[in-house]
Amino acid sequence: MVWCAWQWCGNRSVRWLGRLIFWGVVVEVEVPLSGGDVTEGVVRVGDTVRRPCGAHSSAVHGLLRHLERVGFDGAPRVLGVDGKGREVLSWVAGEAPGRPLPRYAVTREALVGVALLLRRYHEAVASYEVPEDARWDDQASRLDGPPELVGHCDVTPENVVFRGGRPVGLIDFDLARPTTRMYDVVTTLRHWAPIADPADRDWRLCAVDVGERLRVFCDAYGLDRDRRREVLPAARLRFERSYEAMRFRAEQGGAWARLWHKGAGHRIRRAQDWLERNWDELDARLA
């Protein structure tokens, strides 16, 4: 009889997920990870994640290595490139929320945790001296203002790993690029406040008090009074920029075109309108 066993029984041996043992020989199995809906071919193999490399990957690896050097524990480690030319990253233990969002991802504690995690990331990345030849997926935009650091630029729920209901790690640095702290803050708020038309929000976030959540996030991140008055103008610029950036990406085809056809551009426009309609109230809450 062939002895065969899935080494998968809950958290105790989750690091063995994806490893099959035949006659004592470990065979690594690729488990597809589809949570992000953008990059095709992301898989988990044991304690690692394999993702296709792109022109920006070496810049991202430089960034992740810096984070490791300064002891930032909220990002995957770069472990190399595998035989199929894919980047090998460490698995960040926990769970990245999917849609519909689970209850733990919409709590005030989660919002505070994301703000603290982003702040810690910004502190860790601030000392990174970007190599001159670094090639990011998207270069800095003049709309962001002079770059202060390399932002994550895509802190969506799917890109935050939670453990025990607390945000502990950022993943998916594909859109990282030199930008301002404020740009990274408003990009995060777009998804977590969220700055979105109620019709486009996850059902658990439909009726939340966005003004209050903006304030809670800014308090936790540590934005002072003057800087928080910059949040709404930065969000206004960001919408303009992301509409154009997304349309450009969609024109190249692939996953971005799919997202565009599923209405991503319309959602940005509706969010812009919602922001303008609610500007005074949100501004008053931020002040």
Ligand X SMILES: Nc1ncnc2c1ncn2[C@@H]1O[C@H](COP(=O)(O)OP(=O)(O)O)[C@@H](O)[C@H]1O
Binding-site ranges for Mg ion (CB under 5 A): 36, 158-159, 172
* Contact call for residue 184 and ligand X (CB under 6 A): no
User: 139 by DSSP, 3-state: which?
Assistant: coil
Q: Which positions from 204 through 243 interact with ligand X, judged by CB under 6 A? A: none
Q: How far is the CB of 153 from Mg ion (least distance, A)?
A: 12
Q: Which of 33, 79, 168, 208 binds ligand X (CB under 6 A)?
A: 33
Q: How far apart are CA 130 and CA 62, in angstroms?
A: 8
Rounded to the nearest 10 degrees, the angle between the axes of helix 231-251 and helix 181-192 is 80
* Contact call for residue 45 and ligand X (CB under 6 A): no
* Contact call for residue 92 and ligand X (CB under 6 A): yes
173: which 2 tokens?
Answer: 């640095």
80: which 2 tokens?
Answer: 């190399």
* Contact call for residue 137 and ligand X (CB under 6 A): no
β-pairing, 31-32 with 43-45?
antiparallel
What does DSSP assign to residue 90? Answer: E
Q: How far is the CB of 2 from ligand X (least distance, A)?
A: 31
Nearest to 231 by CA among 200, 196, 268, 188: 188
- For ligand X, the closer of residues 48 and 180 by Cβ is 48
Q: How far is the CB of 194 from ligand X (least distance, A)?
A: 17
* Contact call for residue 39 and ligand X (CB under 6 A): yes
The residue with its CB nearest to Mg ion is 36
How many other CB atoms are there within 10 angstroms of residue 36's CB atom?
A: 19
- For Mg ion, the closer of residues 36 and 97 by Cβ is 36
How many other CB atoms are there within 10 angstroms of residue 275's CB atom?
A: 20
- Which amino acid, residue 223? L
Q: What is the helix (H) or strand (E) element at residue 170, kind and residue range?
A: strand 166-170
Q: How far apart are CA 53 and CA 132, in angstroms?
A: 20
63 binds, among ligand X, Mg ion, none (CB under 5 to 8 A by kind): none
Segment interacting with ligand X, rule: CB under 6 A, options 1-9, 52-60, 169-177, 213-221: 169-177
Positions in the binding site for ligand X (CB under 6 A): 33, 35-39, 42, 49, 51, 76, 89, 91-92, 96, 158-159, 161, 171-172, 174
